[in-house]
Amino acid sequence: MYENTEKFVDMDFEQRVRQAAYHLWEDNGRPNGRETDYWFQALETLLRERGQAPGDRSPEPGDEPRH
């Protein structure tokens, strides 16, 4: 269906998420069946570091509070 999606994927970032998720999994005793939980926890942490986590948006010009 999709060919050559590599241009849409930051492979370095994906690898960082994978490594962070693995370390979380290891630190929590390697529980079975929780891979997705650790993946999304790592993803959210790394996106937050980039300032891109859901809900972490910078105010747009004109978004100042009105009195």
Domain boundaries, the chain: 9-49
Largest CA-CA distance found in the chain, in angstroms, rounded = 52
pLDDT of 10: 78
Give the pLDDT score at 16: 94
- The model carries a pTM of 0.64
CA dihedral 41, 43, 46, 49 (to 10 degrees): -80
Give pLDDT, residue 43.
93
The whole-number pLDDT of residue 31 equals: 94
For residue 56, the model assigns a pLDDT of 53
**For residue 57, is pLDDT > 70?**
no
